[in-house]
Amino acid sequence: MARSWTRLHEHLGHPPGPLTYDMVAAAVADKLPESDDLDWKEPLPGFARTPGVWNEFAKDVAAMANTRGGLLIYGVSDDIKFVGVDLAKVDEKQMLSAIRNGIQPYISGIDIIPLPAPGGAGPDVLVVDVPPSEMAPHFQYGWEAKDKDRATFNAPHRINDHTFYMHEHQVARAYRERFARQDGADALLQAGLTQTTETVLSESEGLPAWLVIAARLTRPVPRMVPAPTHTEAKYTLHEALKTAGRINDVGGPAVLSNVLGSDLQVGLRRWVASSFLVPDRRSPGRDAMVELHHDGTVTVSAELAHGLPPHDGVPVNLQVLQTVVLEAVSLADGFRRRLAADSSLDITATIATANTGNRLLPFSNGFGGYAPMPETRRPHRLLPASTELAPNANNQTLRDGAHELTDGLLHQFGINLQR
């Protein structure tokens, strides 16, 4: 997703928004100097298999991602004059291939933006928008003519208007910062799980078991990005549940679409759909809740004991569990797509209950109706299960992610589904 706030926006005093040709023209007219997040480029990147040349584009992209992100603008000379490029010769597939094959780990979210001159009255330019990367340091590798034609594997970065390779201590610091970011992201994901668990348990009637799922983008949507509207959030919810229905291999009926009949309501930087939070609208059926946060986080919770016979323990409906996991994974991916967030998703799930003195009893649906599954473990509590969903997931990827999440929970009962 192209960033809505760049060096050009800052220099020109523009509010966040798409980058335009007029903005580039104004920056060129002002002779805006290069910086760590702006690099003027004259010719289009070349990809001839020549030592010291073919990996230059990958080096420039990795350097921007390793610093704080930035713009590579092709069609502007070093002395900041328009020279233009032939947009018909732009090979976006080759550019993305060079990034994929020449940089490790992969950098997601890069946007290639052709900007033709309005009305053809001027030189065209090409912008490569590189976001700051949560996975830095990124290493660029290939053949480097400046070093006796030998293979290189280095981490480039920007200092002012120049590109350098990181020294060992800089690489070590970059790794420490990455691990700290990941720890922070894990903590935020766990916080989402904990907060949702506290909400549903405090609002529960009786002592049910709850399936609680939280999904968070590895690179959350910035606060400056406009929040999804009520219409967008509602449409996303309905479309994602349709997707869940198409990939459902559990065989049971839909859960969330049958439960969340009330409209979405506004929350703290989120939209909330619930069957139980508003007393006057409380449904007599299964309790469930969905939250669509403005930063791309999604939480889903559903009560698992509804309709099961009383028993010495806390019943857990395994068919409902599997269905809701499929729906939650589909919703997290659908919301990511709606926000145009080119980022992987971390998803975690657990079963929560206030009745920690009793054991969780897995129920299955057989010919005689729902009954406890024999020869299973009956734990007091479960550890969270997790999965990761890559960008641009297809239906099979969604199904596989849901299976991994489901298996992580069911294996703790000693249940191994044969699919």
DSSP state of 255: S
Using the predicted structure, report yes or no on whether residue 189 has a pLDDT greater than 90: no
CA 242 vs CA 246, 278, 327, 330: distances in Å: 6, 26, 9, 9
pLDDT, tens digit (0-9, with 9 covering 90-100), for 319-338: 999 999 999 999 999 999 88
Question: Rg of the chain over CA atoms, in angstroms?
Answer: 26
Which distant-in-sequence residues (6+ apart) come within 8 Å of 178 by Cβ? 134, 135, 136, 137
pLDDT, tens digit (0-9, with 9 covering 90-100), for 148-184: 555 567 899 999 999 999 999 999 998 988 888 777 7
Dihedral of the alpha carbons of 284, 285, 287, 293, in degrees to the nearest 10: -100
SS3 state at 150? strand
Rounded average pLDDT over 238-251: 90
What is the model's pTM? 0.66
Mean pLDDT of the chain: 88
State the Cα–Cα distance between residues 410 and 391, nearest whole angstrom: 26
Pick the CATH number of 7-166 from 3.30.950.30, 1.10.357.10, 2.30.30.180, 3.50.50.60: 3.30.950.30
Point out the least confidently predicted range of 104-108, 129-133, 220-224. Answer: 220-224
pLDDT for 48 equals 64
DSSP-assigned states of every residue in 39-50: EEESSPPP--S-
Rounded average pLDDT over 211-221: 88
Whether the CB-CB separation of 362 and 373 falls below 8 Å is answered with yes
pLDDT for 356 equals 67
Using the predicted structure, report yes or no on whether residue 144 has a pLDDT greater than 60: no
| Cα first-last separation, the chain | 36
pLDDT, tens digit (0-9, with 9 covering 90-100), for 83-97: 999 999 999 998 988
pLDDT for 151 equals 59
Which distant-in-sequence residues (6+ apart) come within 8 Å of 28 by Cβ? 76, 80, 81, 82
State the Cα–Cα distance between residues 409 and 166, nearest whole angstrom: 43
pLDDT for 368 equals 63
CA 271 vs CA 98, 232, 288: distances in Å: 40, 10, 14
Whether the CB-CB separation of 333 and 246 falls below 8 Å is answered with no
State the Cα–Cα distance between residues 140 and 165, nearest whole angstrom: 10
Task: Indicate where the chain has its CATH 3.30.950.30 domain(s).
Answer: 7-166
Rounded average pLDDT over 200-205: 86
Using the predicted structure, report yes or no on whether residue 406 has a pLDDT greater than 60: yes
**Angular region, 231: left φ>0, alpha ψ -120 to 50, beta rest:** alpha
pLDDT for 218 equals 80
Closest CA to 43 of 88, 73, 80, 64: 73
Point out the least confidently predicted range of 254-258, 265-269, 377-381. Answer: 254-258
Of the chain, the percentage scoring pLDDT greater than 70 comes to 92
Whether the CB-CB separation of 281 and 251 falls below 8 Å is answered with no
State the Cα–Cα distance between residues 136 and 3, nearest whole angstrom: 18
pLDDT band at 405 (very low <50, low <70, confident <90, very high): very high
pLDDT for 400 equals 93
Rounded average pLDDT over 340-346: 79
pLDDT for 63 equals 95
Rounded average pLDDT over 190-204: 90
Using a 10 angstrom Cβ sphere, with 0-12 exposed, 13-18 middle and 19 or more buried, the burial of residue 71 is buried
pLDDT for 337 equals 86
